[in-house]
Amino acid sequence: MLTETSRAPERSWEEIRRDFPILQQSINKHSLVYLDSAASSQIPQAVIDRIVWYHSAEHSNVHRGVHTLSQRATNAYEATREKVARHLNAAFSHECIFVRGTTEGINLVAHGYGRKHFKAGDEVIVSALEHHANIVPWQIVCDEVGAKLRVIPMNDAGELDMQAYEALLNERTRLVAVNHVSNALGTINPVAEIIRLAHEKGAVVLIDGAQAVPHMAVDVQALDADFYVFSGHKIYAPTGIGVLYAKTALLEQMQPYQGGGDMIASVSFEKTTYNALPYRFEAGTPSIASGVALGAALDYINAIGLERIARWEAELLAHATEALQGVPGVRLIGTARHKASVLSFELEGVHPHDVGTILDNQGVAIRAGHHCAQPVMNRLGVAATARASFAFYNNFDDIRALVAALYTVKEIFDA
Ligand code: C6P
């Protein structure tokens, strides 16, 4: 048993940064400063090693073969499901459905749940802060059945108007879909309160956790979330894997989203019966290596500790916010009181794409654009922003490099 004294000493952030081989390179003759983890985070060596081991010793198809390799692949893949369930504190691992990512998870709910349960005149509530992935699937289903999409407004800081939300909720509300953390502005939304209020009206709630799960502990039972989705590639795993958590009772009421192998119990031309949970919602051969890697990524961050990660990222965000505010011409976009490690900004007189390109010339990787959140941009009256997003492998030197690179942009445009 581990005691306080036998526990391994805490590794420094410097040492942890060295776990990420991709960060050790130069880009455009500058040491890489990676500030785009909200788009995709980087992958530590332990996870890369797990992928190599899977392909070297375990690779086969899952849930199908009686042979040893198939069993190894199945065991490795299913071990991740158990880890995900523990990570989210789901009551059962069958409540964790593997999907390609957040987008597919939301589409699964929109089609599997919405199409079956929404009727003409019903209402679905999203927020003004949503990524397109949490708007368009609901629009498609609402259009199909004649339901209405309603939107929780936000203030100029990028915070949801909770009074307006309460006023929108009514007996016609079937589902509320909001993100836990906004990808465009970094706002942390009061999801526990959003869920509580929706439940009072008998509506179910989907939380888009794509930008939350990498930065904070999430307990789906404590939140009482009905659906919670996230993507592996934002939590130090590869692309091609994500998770939809859903309560058993809801999964049992849902239509399969896709038909095919693995999701059936029996098939004849007259009638098909479906497999048990979770497989009923997992048609076709999945992204097995990425799934196995997701388990390794969860082990990796849990070894560091999510509370420690959250504290360090909060320090980085506070420091970067102050540093950017000191650069003449910088205007921060999104100044909510509760934020996760995203900093959206404009530099006066320079298009965000130009900011991004000149920063890249100096080895600083940020994202520029509308961040797949055009309604957020429209609400705040900007076409696009530059966005720096932080992970625990970033440090104060990265922030200094960002600021220095912004002064170079200004020099070029002031000349
Ligand atoms: N946001 C960003 O740079 P997928 O692509 O399915 O893994 O995730 C979609 C998605 C859904 N919700 C939120 C809150 C997100 O941030 C994202 C992905 C990336 O902000 C790529 S657009």
Residue 106: which domain range? 49-302
Q: Where are the beta strands (DSSP E) in 311-397?
A: 330-333, 342-347, 364-365, 367-369, 385-389
The answer to whether residue 228 is domain-embedded is: yes
CB of 372 closer than 6 angstroms to any ligand 1 atom: yes
Q: How far is the CA of 181 from the centre of ligand 1 (A)?
A: 11
State whether 272 and 336 are in the same domain: no
Q: What is the pLDDT of residue 1?
A: 47
Q: What is the pLDDT of residue 9?
A: 80
The answer to whether residue 160 is domain-embedded is: yes
Q: Using the atom order of ligand 1, give the atom closest to the CA of residue 231.
A: 7
Average pLDDT over residues 60-66: 89
Reported as a single tens digit per residue, the pLDDT across 242-298 is 999 999 999 999 999 999 999 999 999 999 999 999 999 999 999 999 999 999 999
State whether 405 and 256 are in the same domain: no
CATH number, domain with residue 341: 3.90.1150.10
Q: Using the atom order of ligand 1, give the atom closest to the CA of residue 239.
A: 7
CB of 367 closer than 6 angstroms to any ligand 1 atom: yes
**Closest protein CA for atom 1 of ligand 1:** 39
CB of 316 closer than 6 angstroms to any ligand 1 atom: no
Average pLDDT over residues 15-38: 98
The answer to whether residue 376 is domain-embedded is: yes
- pLDDT band (50, 70, 90) for residue 174: very high
State whether 356 and 214 are in the same domain: no
| 142 given a catalytic annotation | no
Residue 194 contacts residue 227 (beta carbons within 8 Å): no
The catalytic residue among 365, 372, 382, 403 is 372
With the most atoms of ligand 1 within 8 angstroms of its CB, the residue from 191, 231, 235, 290 to mutate is: 231
CB of 365 closer than 6 angstroms to any ligand 1 atom: no
Q: Which of 277, 302, 327 is the last residue of a domain?
A: 302
Closest CA to 403 of 391, 415, 386: 386
The answer to whether residue 62 is domain-embedded is: yes
Kindly tell me if the per-residue pLDDT of 71 is higher than 90: yes
Q: Which of 270, 302, 334 is the last residue of a domain?
A: 302
- Sign, CA dihedral 210-215-220-222, equals negative
The answer to whether residue 5 is domain-embedded is: no
The answer to whether residue 282 is domain-embedded is: yes
Kindly tell me if the per-residue pLDDT of 308 is higher than 80: yes
State whether 84 and 21 are in the same domain: no
Reported as a single tens digit per residue, the pLDDT across 361-393 is 999 999 999 999 999 999 999 999 999 999 999
State whether 207 and 230 are in the same domain: yes
Reported as a single tens digit per residue, the pLDDT across 198-213 is 999 999 999 999 999 9
State whether 170 and 283 are in the same domain: yes
Q: Which of 244, 270, 302 is the last residue of a domain?
A: 302
Domain count within the chain: 2
State whether 399 and 380 are in the same domain: yes
CATH number, domain with residue 234: 3.40.640.10
Share of the chain above pLDDT 90, in %: 96
Phi, psi of 44 (to 5 degrees): -75, 160
Q: How far is the CA of 243 from the centre of ligand 1 (A)?
A: 13
State whether 322 and 221 are in the same domain: no
CB of 39 closer than 6 angstroms to any ligand 1 atom: yes
The answer to whether residue 61 is domain-embedded is: yes
State whether 266 and 383 are in the same domain: no
State pTM to two decimals. Answer: 0.97
75 or 2, greater pLDDT? 75
Kindly tell me if the per-residue pLDDT of 2 is higher than 90: no
State whether 61 and 26 are in the same domain: no
